[in-house]
Amino acid sequence: MTLEQHKSRLYPLLQTAMELELSTIPPYLTALLSIKHEANRVAAGLIRSVMMEEMLHMVLVGNLMSSLGGRICLNQDTLPSYPLRLEFEGHGFKDREFDINLEAFSPQAVQTFLQIELPTSLARQPQRLMARPKITVPGITLGEFYQRIIAALDALCAAYPESAVFNGDPGRQISEQYYWGGGGKPIIISSLAQAKAALEVIIKQGEGGDDSIFDGDEHYFDQAEEVAHYFRFNEIAQGRRYRPGDKPNEPPTGEAFTVDYQAVYPIKRNPRHGDYAAGSRLATLNEQFNRQYSLMLNQLEQAFNGHPAVLYDAIVNGMHGMTPIAQEMMTLPLDGSAGASHGAPSFEWVAPPYVTA
């Protein structure tokens, strides 16, 4: 088998990784924006911090794919649809699976977020659920899945020179020049060590490292020590912060904070475009949002495939433009009456041309 044939087996894993990272952003954003202004500020900050790091993870996966000479696809065929089943295939464990929903900030949403970010050491078998659109993950957790990618890269570099394995043009990757915001910074990949560093950031930001609640990325990014994603969501679930010395399998013992699940817009769960009456304000806003979302994915695909400067447009015109549309939708009842469920964006694909005004 040639090097390119070996790489062709790795590309689907990286494409799955990109789809996994993308699939977390709509539910995290939906829960975040459903929180009413001035309420749940600690919880909102924690959700936002995780979402920002998931965007960094997408960049790191995109850079790794580019470094190997592969291409990322973000289009109608790879777009997550909700409710979305995540089905994890255990290695030495039972398989586990659960649904991800687009829903308001709630105890149920936080429990789902904990399942997404679950550390391998804490993995358990949940109830089996009804059939859904799904992403199948070859591992019991996201961390184990990324360790499988690391093992595949180790094997490639044991059989071939690193310069042949990582033969993509580094200039086509997303550097700090094109990326800004919280959650760290991109890593340009042209060696096995850099590839492992990028994947270790993803693993540790999600589930912590070395049986620790902390993400261990401060030495990469020269930033303050933070707890990993799973433990940030557990802080919300417990209404209490972690402090140094707390253990992964024990509740946090730090400062308490208020979590008010009533200070939330009562949005419809897993909305679809057909839920909004034709010609209504909600239908118009949802169409605008989905066009903006689809344009952003199109631009992200360009950015990950050799045009890194397009990332600026994806963030400024995409993500930033989507937020006020979603916020207005969440203030509007579906049928205009008090007590009715409110609208929310459906995160559905719209084909080009992307006229968003």
Q: What's residue 182's pLDDT? A: 58
User: What burial class does residue 199 get, using C-beta atoms within 10 Å of its C-beta: 0-12 exposed, 13-18 middle, 19+ buried?
Assistant: buried
CA dist 311 and 297 (Å) reads 10
Segment 287-323, tens digit of pLDDT: 999 999 999 999 999 999 999 999 988 887 777 789 9
State which residues of the chain have pLDDT below 50: 92-93, 125-131, 219-221, 357
Segment 20-71, tens digit of pLDDT: 999 999 999 999 999 998 899 999 999 999 999 999 999 999 999 999 999 9
CA dist 38 and 87 (Å) reads 36
- Write the DSSP assignment of 75-129 as a string of letters: STTT---SSEEEEE--SSS--EEEEE----SSHHHHHHHHHHT--GGG-------
CA dist 48 and 43 (Å) reads 9
Closest CA to 268 of 195, 352, 335, 185: 335
Q: What's residue 68's pLDDT? A: 97
User: What burial class does residue 351 get, using C-beta atoms within 10 Å of its C-beta: 0-12 exposed, 13-18 middle, 19+ buried?
Assistant: exposed
Closest CA to 323 of 57, 19, 117, 37: 37
- 85 forms beta bridges with 99, 134
Q: What's residue 130's pLDDT? A: 45
Closest CA to 165 of 280, 5, 44, 21: 5
Q: What's residue 125's pLDDT? A: 44
Q: Report the half-sphere exposure of 297 (CA within 13 A, side-chain side).
A: 26
Q: What's residue 127's pLDDT? A: 43
What Cα–Cα distance (Å) separates residue 47 from each residue in 29, 52, 317? 8, 9, 22
CA dist 43 and 238 (Å) reads 11
What Cα–Cα distance (Å) separates residue 1 from each residue in 43, 101, 192? 50, 41, 21
